[in-house]
Amino acid sequence: MTRDDARVAEKVTIPYPRRWAALGVLVGSMLLLAIDGTVLYLAVPSLTADLAPSSTQVLWIGDVYALALAGLLVTTGTLADRFGRKRVLLAGTAAFGVASALAAFAPSAEALIAARLLLGVAGATIMPSTLSIIRNTFPDRAERTRAIAIWSAASGGGMALGPLVGGALLENFWWGSVFLINVPVVLVFLVSGALLLPESRDPRPGRFDLLSAALSMTAIVPLVYSVKHAIGSGVDVQAVVAVLVGVASGALFVRRQRRLDTPLIDVSLFANKAFSGAVLANVVAIFALTGLLFFFSQYLQLVRGLGPLSAGLVELPTTIASILVVAVVGVLVARLGTGRAVAAGLLFGALGLALIAAAEGADHHLWLVLALLPLGLGVGVAMTLTVDAVVSAVPTHRAGAASAIAETAYELGGALGIALLGSGVTLFYRASLDLPVDVPDPVRAAVEDSLASAVNSVGPDSALGHAAREAFTAAMQVTSLVAAGITVIAALIAWRTIPSGRKTGTATTTWTKE
């Protein structure tokens, strides 16, 4: 231990006395962000009728939020370590409220995409702070695992709860209400956060590297953009250039991190198979859940004919299963060990995806409801344990940077889920369409663009509307099975790379109250 490390350790006395009350604020903030990530899904049909976005714009409306988060989390996590996690969290929460108001009254698809981008930027300042404050506030490993399980339940449950909240609002108000509801909630969190949260920061943050921050963004954003562009417009020069920019930026970012004394991301951590396996498992778990929910909400309304609130209620089992994780995760780790428990969670999630593919062709909604239970439970278990493994891998003074890795995995999984699985649904939908040759070109273009566009153009009860619904159902089934296969592969990797031995011990931490 160095002399500086000894001085930091000497400051440790007792855990923060109001840590469970502070956890309530942090969980509330995370729940708000998670709900906002999916609350829009049920609003897609109504905003499509109002703003008339193209299929590509619909994907960007859903994806740009998570994409901005994924691109900025590394940078904002480091800034939180430097300037204070509580301070950065409260500033981001205030900005989130402003961006929500702008999204609520967006007059066009382009304006809504821009507002969602601002929401992502604001959210990126909140997410790493929540997890790093937990890391610092709960020095005891057992307490921290329980706290992260509750945090993960808010993350996974919030994603599933979003459609229910959106459905309740859309039954009575216009689509902008799913954003406007954030404003009073933000005000509550600003007051409670100022009173209850402890302040903490890295005592030796080092120099902030602006070039690394830029490279981290240009490594992620172009890659996701290239996938979306290739699916929508085919593989062309623009898509290839985006891939090259992303890969080159990623290589330069890794090379630079290896040379810096205080890197944005300690890339040497990825040499550890357990760490890399945990990050990969986290990405895939969120990839499967978010990618499915984005189009599942549209399926329930446009194919099954449910109203927004009824569709949200059908998705409620995912929320319930995510909450049950808090009760079962400790038992699973005790009996199976971390690695096997993560693998079991991912396999259970894959089973849920396969069941959803089968249930989408069934007549009764009950089968859909039952299929969502293993998906929510499996993803919740995998996410809780992988986040705990990532955050526990570093000293407390680097909690923000480690949290940024965990959160980047979370948001990158969400962004890739919508981009890849969402684009896959669009691709399979168009391939499954069997339209008569005499369909006029404008009508054909509308039907081929998306199911929402088809329903708005030709009506849900017409022959073309029926063909579009059949094609969308087939596309959802194929995509769910693809996601299940990817999740099985991730389960095997987690089983082979993440140790299953039990870990004990208490980490040291420093906190100050402001």
Whether 244 shows a pLDDT value over 90: the answer reads yes
R_g (Cα) of the chain, nearest Å: 22
What is the mean pLDDT of the segment spanning 199-210?
Answer: 70
Whole-angstrom distance, CA of residue 182 vs CA of residue 36: 8
pLDDT (tens digit per residue) in 348-384: 889 988 998 888 777 777 788 888 888 888 887 887 7
**Three-class SS of residue 190?**
helix
pLDDT (tens digit per residue) in 2-22: 444 444 433 444 567 777 888
What would the two tokens of residue 17 be? 């006395």
For residue 320, what pLDDT is reported? 77
For residue 160, what pLDDT is reported? 61
Whole-angstrom distance, CA of residue 180 vs CA of residue 98: 10
What is the mean pLDDT of the segment spanning 33-56?
Answer: 73
Whole-angstrom distance, CA of residue 108 vs CA of residue 95: 21
Structure pTM? 0.66
For residue 301, what pLDDT is reported? 77
Whether 72 shows a pLDDT value over 70: the answer reads yes
For residue 514, name the pLDDT band (cuts at 50, 70, 90).
very low
Which letter does DSSP use for residue 337 in this model? -
What would the two tokens of residue 352 be? 């849920």
User: Are residues 357 and 477 in contact, defined by beta-carbon separation less than 8 angstroms?
Assistant: yes
Whole-angstrom distance, CA of residue 375 vs CA of residue 89: 31
Which letter does DSSP use for residue 417 in this model? I
For residue 513, what pLDDT is reported? 39
For residue 41, what pLDDT is reported? 66
Whether 509 shows a pLDDT value over 60: the answer reads no
Whether 501 shows a pLDDT value over 70: the answer reads no
Find the helix or strand (DSSP H, E) in which 333 lies.
helix 316-336
User: Are residues 133 and 22 in contact, defined by beta-carbon separation less than 8 angstroms?
Assistant: yes
For residue 511, what pLDDT is reported? 35
Whether 166 shows a pLDDT value over 60: the answer reads yes
Average pLDDT over the chain, rounded to whole? 76
**CA distances for 113 relative to 118, 160, 385, angstroms:** 9, 22, 33
Cβ neighbors of 147 (< 8 A, separation 6 or more) are: 19, 23, 134, 137, 138
What is the mean pLDDT of the segment spanning 231-249?
Answer: 83
Higher pLDDT, 418 or 244: 244
For residue 245, name the pLDDT band (cuts at 50, 70, 90).
very high
Give the number of C-alpha atoms closer than 13 A to the C-alpha of residue 379, restricted to the C-beta side.
39
pLDDT-above-70 percentage for the chain: 81
